[in-house]
Chain A
Amino acid sequence: MTDMMTYPDVVNLAVPFFIAAILIELTWIAVKGRGGRYETRDAVTSLVMGAGSVASGILLGFIAWGFFMVLWQITPLDLGTSWWVVLLCFVLDDLRYYWVHRFGHRIRWVWASHVNHHSSQHYNLTTALRQTWSGTFTFMMVMRAPLILLGFHPAMVLFAGGLNLIYQFWIHTEAIGKLPRWVEAVMNTPSHHRAHHGRNPRYLDCNYAGVFIIWDRMFGTFVPEIESDKVDYGLVHNLGTFNPLRVAFHEWIGMLRDMTQPGLTLRERVKYAVLPPGYSHDGSRQTSEQIKEDHLRANPKDRGTPGFS
């Protein structure tokens, strides 16, 4: 395979489709009077975050691309471009996505980038576009290294990642209930991903899947959406701003302030970056485990139900 190989930049090509789908969802909600909520400033913030994310990809994408091309020079393996290689690449890249996303919720350094995707209290198709501007600084591109070293061309790996992102667009909706059993068993669906966006104690740190929900079932992070525990979208501590710059960078700045406050040991400073969100050296904050424990103390009947293992 040569470096001449090109795959379309699928995410950019999908923009007209995104806009059309948003208008369709909005019409559906207006006509039916159910199936989701829109609010002007929330939606505009989401759309601007999406545009900024594409812009940051155009500006900073060369860093990851350069890294991938170095790996491609090093590796002696080349799997070529047959259809089954592309398919395999897509499935393995989805496994890659699962772990990047899991780290995104369990390592504050990565959460600082991912948090903005969860910063809306709404859940509609615009929420899907609320994507990070600072992914490059998480260094999570290393998670793609194994794929490239195995002989999947970097362009193919990025193509697979783009398709993965596009798949995740349509699941950000309340207009679609539960799908047939086999779909819910194998695929990430609106229902599964609604749970992922929940700030309810039950739904914290679940359903990291991109396309295939099987990874969550395999690695023990699956929690079904439960009718009696309606998903409350957003962050444990919801933001008091719609300013896209603040939404994009608030957690980075918060983390750096925590790390650089006076009187900490080096160990504590590092912990603020690598432990889960909610860690504090003085116990003044709560991690998701502590939030779940508190909830169970107040609601003992929930013990042993999904999300409270």
Chain B
Amino acid sequence: MPLHILGPMVVIGVIGVAILLHLMGLSKRLRFDESTARAAWLRHFPDASVRTVHVAPDGHAALIHSTDGPGIVWAMGADSAARFVQGARPEQRPDRLVLHFRDIGTPTIRLAVPAALQDDWLKEIGPL
């Protein structure tokens, strides 16, 4: 197929599907409560039992204290990802706490924690 047809068809196809999905309400991010955050963590780390769960104010992430150390479980679209926080470099922004990692697959985790609560969160996370 000639490129001048294939190219536009692909671009229009991708944009069209994106708009359609968004209009169908399929862009919603996963929300956690304490028990779903716990379950999501265990799905990623079945061997690291959960001691405590702190759900972020917006519900899209949670701080987990596990038997293997502290970690974050957070929404990746409609699904979740999780990782331990050791080695993270925290950055405090007015409206969120950002954890940076030296990891191409997970460069950052953005936590919607307002400035007033960030120090508490960092204390809760513990030494990085």
A104 shortest CB reach to chain B, Å:
18
A135-156 contact mask (Cβ, 8 Å, vs B): 1 or 0 = 0000000000000000000000
Instruction: List residues of B (11-25) whose CB comes within 8 Å of A's CBs.
Output: 13-14, 17-18, 20-22, 24
Given A15-B1, A22-B17: A240 and B79 interface contact (C-beta under 8 Å): no
Across the interface, A42 reaches (CB within 8 A) one of B43, B44, B77, namely B77
Q: Does A3 contact B (CB under 8 A)?
A: no
**Are A238 and B76 in contact, CB atoms less than 8 angstroms apart?**
yes
A75 contacts the other chain (CB 8 A): no
- A308 lies within 8 A of chain B by Cβ: no
Main secondary structure of the interface of A (DSSP, over half): helix
A-facing residues in B77-93 (Cβ within 8 Å): 77-83
Q: Given A38-B26, A39-B21, A51-B14, check contact A240 B104 (CB 8 Å).
A: no
Q: In the complex, A246 Cα to B103 Cα: how many Å?
A: 10
Q: Does A48 contact B (CB under 8 A)?
A: yes
Q: How far is the CA of A39 from the CA of B80 in the complex (A)?
A: 12
Checking A40, A241, A249 against B107 with a beta-carbon cut-off of 8 angstroms, the contacting residue is A241
Tell me whether A240 and B83 are in contact (CB under 8 A): yes
Query: B109 within 8 Å of A by Cβ?
Result: yes
By the criterion CB–CB under 8 Å, are B79 and A19 in contact? no
By a CB distance below 8 angstroms, the chain A residues around B127 are: none
**Contact (Cβ within 8 A) B107 A43:** no
Q: Considering residues A19, A23, A240, A251, which has the most beta carbons from chain B within 10 angstroms of its beta carbon? A: A240
- 30 A-B pairs in the complex with CB atoms less than 8 angstroms apart: A9-B1, A12-B1, A15-B9, A15-B10, A15-B13, A19-B17, A26-B17, A38-B26, A39-B21, A39-B79, A40-B22, A40-B26, A40-B27, A40-B77, A42-B79, A43-B18, A43-B21, A58-B3, A121-B76, A122-B79, A237-B44, A237-B83, A238-B81, A239-B105, A240-B74, A241-B105, A241-B106, A246-B104, A254-B104, A295-B46
